[in-house]
Structure 1
Amino acid sequence: MTDEAWEARCAALWERLDAMGREEFVQAMKDLAAECGDEAVGLFEVGGAHDSTGFTEDAVGYYERAVAAGLSGVRRRRVSIQMASSLRETGRPAEALAVIADERARGSDAYDGALAMCEALTLAKLGRDREGLSVALTALAPHLPRYQRSTVNYARGLVGLDPVA
């Protein structure tokens, strides 16, 4: 289990990402994760450190291990988004879509838009641009000051679905 002090130190380390070298940042995160007391959280943060410094392929393994170790809470949702993104960028977009579908089935929260963004980019990577645009427009619609229903119906039309009344 992590505590507030550890979480604050982790947040402070993330704030220094751009000021540190890639390997230096990853090592600092590994050192911090070793102190955290929650294997799943530590693995998630180390995976994120790899991902954010361009070691994307390495990140996937950490993300998978974090999930297997029982990662929960908001980090569970974030790991799915980050792992799907990493899978997409390392040439495994079909696996990324499976991760996204599994995460969608887990429910809805503040990260729905980020999940939709990841899905839209993954669909585009697979050459399914119209589906990706449909996902992105559907996610955008609730944030528009007007035209929400029209936007959703246009998005549905892109993929051959009937409009909603």
Structure 2
Amino acid sequence: MSDWQDRVDAVWADSALTEDEVIDRIDVLAAERSVDDPIALFERAGARDSAGREAEAEVLYRRALEIGLDDERRTRATIQLASTIRNLGKVDEALSLLRAEYEREPRGPLHDAAAAFYALALVSAGEAERAASISLQALAPHLPLYTRSVTGYAREIADGHA
């Protein structure tokens, strides 16, 4: 698996490739694995997603998640699927997926990424104040000063008191 993933990662790292070349190369690598390999499906989805082919990506993300991914890829696939379907106008479903991911593991390595995409979906749903609150709560721990103040203000926004 490591050699295969290294080759996939090399495709992603090659900034000289066009979006279509990335898709083609990822598809060639995915063909080395079984048709229902969830990791290969996830990589194929990501290639299409980054090329703006969201409808194609959606189907592949859903299939990869249905079959089952390791925890990190499951989180990434959920965030990426939610972002994709938000772009396709399925804001309510995106919100549901992202809220669950955001609340699932508050100290997880991708929690801030989930927060960012959750905030974007909230803006799409017309909930800009709540989006600001989520964003500020994610940002606060990274500030060199004022963490407690920003966290407090973020909570006030969420409570409708700011």
Report the TM-score, using the length of structure 1 for normalisation: 0.89
| Paired AA for residue 136 in structure 1 | S
CA shift at 1:101, angstroms?
A: 2.4
Output one character per residue of 1:123-151: Cα deviation in whole Å (capped at 9) or x when no partner. 01111000000000000011111211111
Output one character per residue of 1:17-53: Cα deviation in whole Å (capped at 9) or x when no partner. x422333321211110121457000000000000011
- Aligned twin of 2:59: 61
The runs of 5 or more residues in structure 2 that have no matched partner are none
CA shift at 1:60, angstroms?
A: 1.0
Q: Aligned equivalents of 1:154 and 1:123: distance in 2? A: 18
Output one character per residue of 1:62-106: Cα deviation in whole Å (capped at 9) or x when no partner. 110000011113111100111111111111111101111232354
Question: Deviating runs (4+, > 6 A) in structure 1?
Answer: none
Q: Aligned equivalents of 1:31 and 1:47: distance in 2? A: 14
Q: Aligned equivalents of 1:156 and 1:103: distance in 2? A: 19
Quick check: 70-79 or 99-108, which moved more?
A: 99-108
| Identical amino acids, percent of aligned pairs | 38
- Aligned twin of 1:160: 159
Corresponding position: 1:28 with 2:25: yes
| Paired AA for residue 145 in structure 2 | R
- Aligned twin of 1:52: 50
- Aligned twin of 1:116: 115
Whether the aligned pair in 2 keeps the contact of 1:6 and 1:36 (CA below 8 Å) is no
| Paired AA for residue 56 in structure 1 | E
Whether the aligned pair in 1 keeps the contact of 2:102 and 2:118 (CA below 8 Å) is no
- Aligned twin of 1:134: 133
Report the TM-score, using the length of structure 2 for normalisation: 0.91
Q: Aligned equivalents of 1:42 and 1:117: distance in 2? A: 26
Q: Aligned equivalents of 1:158 and 1:102: distance in 2? A: 21
| Paired AA for residue 65 in structure 1 | R
